[in-house]
Amino acid sequence: MRQAGRYLPEFRAIRVENDFFNVCRTPELATEVTLQPIRRYPELLDAAIIFSDILVIPQAMGMQVEMVPGKGPHLPEPLREPRDLARLTDQRKGFSVGRELDYVYKAITNTRHALAGRVPLLGFVGAPWTLMAYMVEGGGSKTFAEAKAWLFRCPQAAHELLRRIAAVAAEFLVGQVRAGAQALQVFESWAGELSPRDFAEFSLPYLRQIAAHVKQRCPDVPLTVFAKGAHYALEQLATETAFDVISIDWTIDPAAARIRVDRALRSAGSARRVVLQGNLDPTLLFADEDTLRRRTAEMCASFGATGHIANLGHGMMPAHDPERLRVFLQTVHSASRALR
């Protein structure tokens, strides 16, 4: 969850001379930034996460994406009408996911070599609904009115766009594995903006499509989904998709999530085990150390002794103190040992 980022002074030093997407597009810089938290927290992090961004997919499909300081992502020419789909390049002759996103593959391969087996390397993509929201809104939004209007006003065009994003995302993930990624995550960051009915129509089918495609080609690679805010869909994600791990945010009790997921799997007659990931509220890293340690230990206990990947419930924030993250990581290790 933004393992490398603006909370790290060493990352900010690189950003002084480099645009955000220049870091993403320069394999040597992406590798260096990916390694920064691994160096800072030796023996505490169990994986490295390739430094990239979910919006490289809209870029690959022909859209301009800028990272505006103090504002975040900005797409100056969003998709306002269904006819704007013709501007996308993914269905044009000669389009290649591998060519458009080759810089990510090179960064992954470089980083695997640089890690030299210390920890596994994770890759990721943004999920179709989340990427569609950015592509239609032109950036973040409080209401997502433009993107949701597409769903209800022109559902056929919305499904076409979602299908096309899903196809690119699935191929991109497989390419990341071939480049060296050892596990993958799909970020449906704006899932909670959808009602259960709309999630079932406009998000779940495309998450299912991506997971099936990746598992068919890379069956042994662990695959995680993070559908932020979509607590209502835990059972569907566990029983109707091929994801191995479900990541949850801090607004759901881990013990309740575990019960619901296990019950759904039993009811479906499934013998597979779904791991849970999460879910500390990131703002707890602003608390005093005693509070942070107590709440982190409580989180670990709530998940139980097995089947849990400890993480935050969302991303690191620029104002976070890196030493508070160290306290969180150390507490996860000590609390996990105590549980076992």
Which residues form the catalytic set?
Answer: 2, 6, 15, 53, 134
| Helix (H) or strand (E) segment spanning residue 167 | helix 155-179
Spatial CB neighbours of 30, under 8 Å, sequence gap ≥ 6: 23, 24, 50, 51, 52, 103, 104, 107, 110, 111
- CA distance linking residue 107 with residue 36, whole number of Å: 14
Give the β-pairing of 245-247 and 275-280. parallel
* Three-state DSSP state, 297: helix
- CA distance linking residue 67 with residue 46, whole number of Å: 29
Give the β-pairing of 72-74 and 66-68. antiparallel
Q: How far is CA 79 from each of CA 135, 154, 297, 299, rounded to the nearest angstrom?
A: 6, 13, 45, 41
- Please choose, from the candidates 140, 130, 216, 136, the residue with its C-alpha nearest in 3D space to the C-alpha of residue 173: 216
Task: Provide φ and ψ at 275, rounded to 5°.
Answer: -85, 145
Q: What is the DSSP string of 75-139?
A: -SS---SGGGGGG--TTSTT--HHHHTHHHHHHHHHHHHHHTTSS-EEEEEE-HHHHHHHHHHSB
N-term to C-term CA, the chain: 25
For residue 293, give the amino acid letter.
Answer: R
**Residue 295: both structure tokens together:** 């709440």
For residue 193, give the amino acid letter.
Answer: E
CA dihedral (133, 283, 68, 187) positive or negative: negative
- Please choose, from the candidates 92, 116, 100, the residue with its C-alpha nearest in 3D space to the C-alpha of residue 31: 116
